Structure 1
Amino acid sequence: MGSTRSLESLRLSKPETAVFVSGVASMGLEILAGRMIAPQFGSSIYTWGTIIGVFLAALSYGYHRGGKQAAERATNGRMASVFLLTAAYVAVLVFAGDLLLRSAAGFPLPSRVASLPAVTILFGPPTYLLGYISPYAAELSTKEGVGEASGHVYMLGTVGSIVGAFATTYVLIPSLGIDAIALVFGGLSILAALAVSRPVGRRRATVTGFVALVLVASAATGAAGYSVQGEVVHETQTPYQELQVVDLGGTRTLYLGGQPHSAMDLDDPNRHVFEYTRYFHLPFLFADDPDEIDRVLFIGGGGFTGPKRFANDYDVTVDVAEIDPDVIAAAEEYFGVSESERLNIYNQGGRQFLRETNRTYDLVVLDAYQKDKVPFELTTREFMTLASDRLDDDGILFANVISASSGPASEFYRAQYATVDRVFPQTYSFPTGGAGIVQNIEMVATKSDARVTEAQLRTRNERRDIGIDLSGPVADYADPPRTDDVPVLRDDRAPVDSLLDSMVGYRYVVQESNASDGAGTARPAVRPGGPVPEPRSVPG
């Protein structure tokens, strides 16, 4: 008898089920919002702050409206209707989310709040609807007293949010694409509608069936609007970012977070497709003796263009620290990467790897930055000091920075230069594109007190046989930038998001090579979902 009562106490009533599911759905949609918004607006603290703020505002307004109506209108049937409306809007997200996202990107707002219209349009309505559930459930609760009913509802909603957060983060995102995850929450809302409206009448069944049909049709039809330029051969949501492998015109490109990261010529896999990867060889001109570079560490793998070329072209051992396991898997399956005696791959963050390794390196290549997402822990003076400690006495640091070389969008580059220059005796930079555009800027830092001139690099390029002509990269030798108005980045103060914010709305230009060692031609980077939109502000 006691066990039966215990089981009865664990069984959720209809209002309790509704509250629990609303918590799961609202938190799951919030995490999903980050993945949907990031390719267009980045995943900075401003983007996430906007997402959290919009969700809280929408829920609050839903609580307010639902609370005013609860005393007279709260029924299980109305809660079922809320879930059906939520599922219907999720169908809109699946079918037209990308189109809505791009339309909302055109609002002339300051870059820090540029994502506000998109988040509001895409996720405000379903979150607002879910806000009705808690006051309705509190009104329908069998608990004695307002306090007990309210506390019970808050508890169940919070538990549901916890389940939604962990399930989305650890199960759904690593396993499913964005549309499939949205479909899961739409389906969950339909099941909740059925659960709280039992027994289901003919009219309710008809409406529920129609919403389910619309949801399935939206997923089967595919997203409206722009599509990736090229054939998507692989797509997944990794624990860290959206990943796509796209084939177009004999070139295979790896997109991370909606931005092109690496590319491979399918007919000539060792060719440098993106011009900036040719600059990776510059340290062989900075070294007093290039033959003394025999152990190299790459922090960040991507498509492993640099590591593959180094292991293939030089008598070196290459270690790669790549934090994202799905990036490693994609590189192995689609970019011809395989471990060997000369190439070792470690699924580990770069700073953690440097902190834990007992090896020293002749060259450390930092290639883990993206235009709108930079791990701040890899930018600070403390990290640069750690890298310097892991370099030999004549070791070299190479950093692939994405920023503008001058103008308003150059803040991150100049702050990074100031930080590196605070640790290393000599720092150099090589912009790969024109002035005032967001591009790859290659930085080289040495532990030598003697400064290497552009003329010395030209002479070494002519005399040294390193297997690649670097006359073009050498010609991009730049004067040190102004750094008196930017901070030196530290572990306790690294405002990377603020520095990256100045690049929002600027076109990211990738320099693409014409041949193995030919000159590059500027090509606007194309991201999944179609061409990069024109800047919302004109570079100064």
Structure 2
Amino acid sequence: MPDVDRRRAWLLTVDGAPQSYVDLDEPTHLEFEYARRLGHVLDCAAEDGRPLDVLHLGGGALTLPRYVAATRPGSRQHVVDADRGLLALVGEHLPLPDGAGVDVHGADARTWLEAAPSDSVDVLVADVFGGSRVPAHLTTKAYAREADRVLRPGGSYAANLADGAPFAFLRSQLATFRAVFAHLALVAEPAVLRGRRFGNAVLVASQTAFDVPELARRTARDAFPARVEHGAGLHRFVGDARPVTEGDAVPSPEPPGGSFSVG
């Protein structure tokens, strides 16, 4: 659907839920709150303008690949999405600019990840939803190990997740990635973290310490302010949650009616 306020901007919905927003004239414009937070993680991944190798699991309208191509020219990016029809639709109506350095692949995210070379990417962004839910096979400790294998030393994993109080899914994901990665952070709106509403949260993981203060500064001064939880506060939030195994994996919870729908 076109955005009447921006000449070449488009909202992509899937089954009535907003999925992506793209401004073809201004690829650095990130409309959705979770996309802005993933953008902050990408901005903090290296010094400004330095090209990165990025793997995106989940493509949508290719909002974040466009952002990286604009902010870090020369980056090499791969986008993996199982919905080949959606990729074809986006390619036809919202084409990437020439020389963007983005390769798009129609494939299952977990299958692609398991076949990807070790130590091959600087940042892995996971934004995979089947409808409005994160698929179960992208929630396990084995999946987290594959993400760690593909990342280069010093690389970062960032995932868009969704949950609400009592946060059984989100806590289990933090426990799962804590079992594999040495450093974790969680970026979310304070109202979501306090359990006042269902919403998105961005999980960040790395084997080396990342610049949490800079990430916190960027998210706090955003048009949609967020909080960064890490260290002891994050440990308390995780509580007694346990890592997810292949045998007990479940999708993220179904959002309450109207949480992500558009009129």
1:277 is matched by which residue type in structure 2? A
Matching residue within 83, 95, 99 for 1:324:
83
Partner residue in 2 for 1:259: 17
- Distance, in Å, in 1 between the alignment partners of 2:26 and 2:48 is 26
Does residue 224 of structure 2 align to residue 471 of structure 1?
A: no
* Larger strand proportion of the pair: 2
TM superposition shift of 1:292: 6.0
- The answer to whether 1:274 aligns with 2:24 is no
Taking a change above 3 Å as real, the CA distance of residues 400 and 391 of structure 1, as seen in their structure-2 partners, is same
How far the C-alpha of 1:486 sits from its partner, in A, is 3.5
Measured in 2, the distance between the counterparts of 1:266 and 1:290 equals: 22
C-alpha distance 287-493 of structure 1, shift in aligned 2 (>3 A):
same
User: Does the CA-based 8 Å contact 1:370-1:402 persist in structure 2?
Assistant: no
CA drift at 1:417: 1.4
Question: 1:282-301 maps to which residues of 2 (within 5 A)?
Answer: 282-284=40-42, 286-287=44-45, 289=47, 294-301=52-59
Comparing both chains, which one has the higher relative contact order based on Cα–Cα distances under 8 Å and sequence gaps of 6 or more?
2
Distance 1:488 1:289, change over 3 A: same
Query: Which one of the candidate residues 377, 397, 406 is aligned to 2:137?
Result: 377
Q: 1:358 is matched with which residue: 117, 120, 137? A: 117
Cα distance between partner residues in 1 of 2:68 and 2:81: 17
User: Structure 2 residue aligned with 1:386, among 120, 136, 146?
Assistant: 146
- Structure 1 447/350 Cα, relative in aligned 2: closer, same or farther at 3 Å? same
Q: Distance in 2 between matches of 1:289 and 1:265?
A: 25
Question: Structure 2: how far apart are the matches of 1:477 and 1:261?
Answer: 24
Structure 2 partner of 1:438: 198
- Answer yes or no: is the 8 Å Cα contact 1:296–1:361 preserved in 2: yes
Deviation at 1:387, TM superposition (A): 0.7
**Unaligned residue ranges in structure 2 (runs of 5+):** none
Q: Distance in 1 between matches of 2:81 and 2:242?
A: 28
Aligned mates of 2:227, 2:239 — CA distance in 1: 23
Higher helix share: 1
The counterpart of 1:495, out of the listed 247, 250, 253, is: 250
In the alignment, structure 1 residue 397 sits paired with structure 2 residue 147: no
2:238 to 483, 494, 500: 483
Give 1:282 shift. Answer: 2.5
Using the TM superposition, give the Cα deviation of residue 438 of structure 1 relative to its aligned residue in structure 2, in angstroms. Answer: 1.7
Indicate whether 1:415 and 2:172 are aligned: yes
Return the letter of the residue paired with 1:420.
F
Contact 1:284 1:290 in 2 (8 A): no
Pairwise CA distance, 1:526: 3.4
User: Aligned pairs, how many?
Assistant: 250
Q: Which residue of 2 aligns with 1:367?
A: 127
One-letter identity of the residue aligned with 1:325: R
- Paired letter, 1:306: L
Residue 400 of structure 1 aligns to a residue in which SS?
strand
C-alpha distance in structure 2 between counterparts of 1:247 and 1:289, whole Å? 34
Structure with larger Rg: 1
Equivalent residue number for residue 526 of structure 1: 261
Distance 1:297 1:451 in 2: 19
Counterpart contact for 1:371–1:500, Cα < 8 Å: no
Structure 1 pair 411/339, CA: closer, same or farther in 2 (3 Å)? farther
Deviations 1:372-404 (A, max 9, x none): 422111111101100100000111001011223
How far is the alpha carbon of 1:471 from its aligned partner?
3.2
- 1:150-299 to 2 correspondences below 5 Å: 246-250=1-5, 251-265=9-23, 268=26, 270-284=28-42, 286-287=44-45, 289=47, 294-299=52-57
Q: 1:342 and 2:101 equivalent?
A: yes
Superposed displacement of residue 325, structure 1: 0.6
Identical amino acids, percent of aligned pairs: 23
**Change beyond 3 A, Cα 1:492–1:288:** same
**d(CA) in 1 for partners of 2:97, 2:83:** 16
What TM-score, normalized by structure 1, do the two folds share? 0.42
Structure 1: which amino acid aligns with 2:188?
A: P
